[in-house]
Structure 1
Amino acid sequence: MPRILIVGGGYAGFYTAWKLEKWLSAKDAEIVVVDPLSYLTYQPFLPEVVGGAVEARHAVVDQRKHLKRARVITAKVTGIDHASKTVDITPEVGEPWKMTYDQIVVTAGSVSRTFPIPGVADEAIGLKTIEEAVAIRDRIVRNFELAANLPAGPARDRLLTFVVVGGGFAGIEVFGEMRSLASALLARYPQLTFEDTHFHLIEAMGRIMPEVSLPTSQWVLKNYAERGANVHLDTQLKDATGGVIQLSTGESFESDVIVWTAGVMASPMLRNTDLPTEERGRLRVKADLRVVTAEGEIVPDAWGAGDVSAVPDLTGKGVGGMCVPNAQHAVRQGKLLAKNIAASLRGEGVKEYRHDSLGAVAGLGLYEGAFQSGRIAVKGFPAWVMHRGYHGLAIPTWERKIRVVGNWVLNFVLGRDMVQLIAREQPRVAFETFASRPKPPAAVVPDADPAAPKRAPRARKKPDVEPELPGAKGVEAPVYANPAPEPEPAKN
């Protein structure tokens, strides 16, 4: 029975395994999914997790719960040797091992792409994982708690200044959710005013959201300006050392929360493989998702999809002729990939991937959104409803759809939950602070010369009467022979 090894359990990998279970029987193939995480992260919901609109655990999909027949291995693939059809698997605990395969599917996804800007690696946080989204939310709420106890001044300004780097969809959406969350928090802290909060989005290009029309992007800029959020266009981040933001325009200010959303790159895992990659480090694939060499020759039994692969965009709308790395493409590529693998095992023909996007929709915070499809643009509350409707249906499995919609309904009735749990980062601190520990044993001083004969201790004569301390009850203080003379009274 052939073994299909899927490297990565994100959108493309999860949907490939999920649909392979539909298209292949248990006797047709063994399906193995290897990923360092045991869940798929639905990244379009990360901004809403930051804003407190979606519970963090509801924005992820449990692989083991929904992949009924696939074998899920929670570990890293640290190398691929397609010549011998083996991969190196490295778990977090235990010894690494090699696994053989018959067909390999590389869907390892992407990671945040950064530049060597001083301070970014030490001070900023990305928005690729659910853990990052939760940390951003907790930090914002915690900063409000701290700032409420401080007088107006530089320390309070730093806590209430929030920066997002990158004006693409991810940056724009999380910027709007952060602004919306901060506005809601102000109602709980009468010591703080709207003017005390400062929001800055930094974009190196002359516009934001290239996926929508220029008028729509300008409307978003106007919307943010009315909400007290500043967008710096044609501006680069030059330095962020110690949280001190230095912009290319010469402007400078301090911030305690810096969110980096300025692009992604293919998983560095591909550096340890003999599969062909292109100049940007992505896997080379054809439109039918089979891996190919630079000369266009098909690499047998190797497939790729999602952010880690350079998939040709047959519509001609992709940047550089390739599909942009987003959830829309990854999900659809995963579904087609499962069909093509099943077809190849049966000796049938494979199909090419082609997707004409129906439009782009973004959430800009509570009750604010923007939608673009061709020349049709929808803004404000209707676009926000469209955003939630689309992603509420797009998240995999009905179980997760129900949980997410339930979040929205409860938030509408009860209000969003704005409690921070930042102590979860060090959960043992409270226990360690008050935990009893055994006393260390008394130190034993060895003799200077172990060979020297030991002398018996000299007995001390016990006095007949125990001395009593001066000043104790019933004991008068001693009278000295030459007491100090008393001072004479002052003369007139």
Structure 2
Amino acid sequence: MTVPRILIVGGGYVGMYTALRLQRRLRPWEAQVTVADLDSYMTYQPFLPEAAAGNIEPRHVVVPLRQVLPRCRILSGRVTSVRLADRVAEFSPHDGADFTIEYDYLVFAPGSISRLLPIPGLAEWGIGFKTVEEAIHLRNHVLGQLDLAASTPDEAVRRRALTFVFVGGGYAGVEALAELEDMASDACKYFKGIRNSDMRWVLVEATDRILPEVGPDMGRWTVRQLRARGIDVRLRTRLVSAENGHIVLDDGDEFDADTLVWTAGVKPNPLVYEGDLPLDDRGRVRADAFLRIVGTRFAFTAGDVAAVPDLTRPGDYCPPNAQHAVRQGKRLADNLIATIRGEELKPYRHRQLGSVATLGLYRGVAQVYGKEVRGFPAWFLHRTYHLARMPTLNKKSRILADWTLGLFFPREIVSLGAIQHPRQEFTLAARTTGPGRTAGQEVRTR
């Protein structure tokens, strides 16, 4: 008897939670599960702002797939195409020859990527905020800018180094800016010659409000809170150019900045175009209420990449957030198991409970069951909710330990900037600079 082969494309919220449930509920002889993703870990993105601010160790916001999915086959690399008609996917490992994966059942959930606009200089100068690598880089970068500003008498260099621009007023942009500004303000007391007022933090949003998920009133309250902290919030404003770090806004303002963070929306993973998947006009994979890809009975999809009907709001689709992705993953797994066993499927239905956002240490904003919460209670709700949602007791315990230590000790202010170029010193040491003198001596005297 041939064991059915299940291929899960993507190891994010949907992919990991689906695999966890399949692993727990399927008997070993019922199916073989393969998870293919570029990384062999799942990143819990709601904690990225706290990781960037140093409140949480970055390794504690990622869950290693090989550790939590021992009964699944984990492939690290890039799926380059998925074909429903032939039930095959092409896979390219990080090294070595490409190969074909055959499957009987498919879970397509590669997630989303940053949606970039054709703005001059953006691709060369900007950085996103979707991965733990980007969060680590921004933490090191911001602290490195403080180091630079404290070490030079050049006022133009100081102004450029201490100017931080974030484009996009959704969760990612507001939380990242608020947490990093809070961290930098706290770190300022260790950098002689730098005051909080020397730093310039700018939030650029094209619409007339930020954090639309928490409602207009709480969005306006958040704007007032950020401005009270000295953050320059620009509504109804667009980025025109960022060439060579020279920021040009459509309100006529221009200035230089070494930091440009782009969080103005996401779009489905480009893998959706590599195959025969049915797409809607926004490039999302069309799904039915049972999370099956439209036109199939063996292929499923969910998360950011999928257009899933929202049964609580007829005619609309589920928003691409973690709350829906986690629940969709569980329902998808149950429906896939029901398909294998010939049982009845159940539609995905979930009414969003609310939204929470952190605005720095002890500050937050939330809308829960229609109730507006702000300040410390909202911050506490944010931490409590996401700690409960964090997979595995191991990660929960480590994050709780990080928070507990943070109550008694100050945050680290070390910039590990060299981590971006770890071989730089070794390369310098390998060069010779003249007779009788090595580059190692040169490095030590620089």
TM-score interval for Structure 1 and Structure 2 normalised by the shorter chain: over 0.9
Q: Which residue of 2 aligns with 1:220?
A: 222
- The one-letter amino acid of 1:119's match is G
Q: Which residue of 2 aligns with 1:92?
A: 94
Q: Are positions 1:309 and 2:306 aligned together?
A: yes
Q: Give the Cα separation in 1 of the matches to 2:184 and 2:92.
A: 41
Asked if the contact 1:43/1:129 (under 8 Å) is kept, the reply is yes
Q: Which residue of 1 aligns with 2:442?
A: none
Equivalent of 1:365 in 360, 366, 374: 360
Structure 1 residue 436, shift from structure 2 partner:
7.0
Q: Which residue of 2 aligns with 1:189?
A: 191
Q: Are positions 1:353 and 2:355 aligned together?
A: no
- The one-letter amino acid of 2:356's match is V
Question: Helix, strand or coil: the match of 1:218?
Answer: helix
Q: Which residue of 1 aligns with 2:444?
A: none
Question: Helix, strand or coil: the match of 2:186?
Answer: helix
Q: Which residue of 1 aligns with 2:243?
A: 241
Structure 1 residue 321, shift from structure 2 partner:
0.9
Q: Which residue of 2 aligns with 1:421?
A: 416
Q: Give the Cα separation in 1 of the matches to 2:354 and 2:325.
A: 16
Asked if the contact 1:78/1:90 (under 8 Å) is kept, the reply is yes
Asked if the contact 1:411/1:417 (under 8 Å) is kept, the reply is no
Asked if the contact 2:189/2:195 (under 8 Å) is kept, the reply is no
Q: Give the Cα separation in 1 of the matches to 2:378 and 2:111.
A: 29
Unaligned runs of 5+ in 2: 435-446
Q: What are the equivalent positions in structure 2 for 1:274-289 lying under 5 Å apart?
A: 274-289=276-291
Structure 1 residue 329, shift from structure 2 partner:
0.8
Q: Give the Cα separation in 2 of the matches to 1:179 and 1:425.
A: 22
Structure 1 residue 421, shift from structure 2 partner:
1.1
Asked if the contact 1:78/1:87 (under 8 Å) is kept, the reply is yes
Structure 1 residue 377, shift from structure 2 partner:
1.0
Q: Which residue of 2 aligns with 1:12?
A: 14
Equivalent of 2:296 in 292, 295, 299: 299
Equivalent pairs counted in the alignment come to: 433
Give per-residue Cα distances to partners, 1:159-178, cap 9 Å, x unaligned. 00001000011111111011
Equivalent of 1:118 in 98, 117, 120: 120
Q: Which residue of 2 aligns with 1:409?
A: 404
Q: Are positions 1:77 and 2:79 aligned together?
A: yes
Q: Give the Cα separation in 2 of the matches to 1:27 and 1:414.
A: 51
Q: Give the Cα separation in 1 of the matches to 2:140 and 2:182.
A: 15
- The one-letter amino acid of 1:300's match is R
Give per-residue Cα distances to partners, 1:181-238, cap 9 Å, x unaligned. 1101111012111210000000000011111122211111111111110110000111
Q: Are positions 1:59 and 2:61 aligned together?
A: yes
Equivalent of 2:144 in 131, 142, 146: 142
Give per-residue Cα distances to partners, 1:101-160, cap 9 Å, x unaligned. 100110100000010011110100001111011111100000000100223622101000
- The one-letter amino acid of 1:250's match is G
Q: Percent identity of the aligned residues?
A: 45
Higher helix share: 2
Asked if the contact 1:23/1:338 (under 8 Å) is kept, the reply is no
- How has the CA–CA distance of structure 1 residues 366 and 427 changed in structure 2, closer, same or farther, with 3 Å as cutoff? same
Q: Give the Cα separation in 2 of the matches to 1:59 and 1:339.
A: 26
Structure 1 residue 25, shift from structure 2 partner:
1.0
Question: Helix, strand or coil: the match of 2:66?
Answer: helix
Asked if the contact 1:76/1:89 (under 8 Å) is kept, the reply is yes
Q: Give the Cα separation in 2 of the matches to 1:327 and 1:241.
A: 34
Q: Which residue of 2 aligns with 1:127?
A: 129
Q: Which has the larger radius of gyration?
A: 1
Q: Give the Cα separation in 1 of the matches to 2:416 and 2:151.
A: 19
Asked if the contact 2:354/2:370 (under 8 Å) is kept, the reply is no
Q: Are positions 1:391 and 2:386 aligned together?
A: yes
Unaligned runs of 5+ in 1: 293-297, 440-492
Q: Give the Cα separation in 1 of the matches to 2:216 and 2:265.
A: 20
Question: Helix, strand or coil: the match of 1:75?
Answer: strand
Q: Give the Cα separation in 2 of the matches to 1:375 and 1:154.
A: 48
Question: Helix, strand or coil: the match of 1:323?
Answer: coil
Q: Which residue of 1 aligns with 2:437?
A: none
Q: Give the Cα separation in 2 of the matches to 1:219 and 1:421.
A: 36
Q: CA RMSD in A?
A: 1.6
Q: Give the Cα separation in 1 of the matches to 2:143 and 2:164.
A: 12
Structure 1 residue 374, shift from structure 2 partner:
4.6
- The one-letter amino acid of 1:190's match is K
Q: Give the Cα separation in 2 of the matches to 1:30 and 1:253.
A: 56
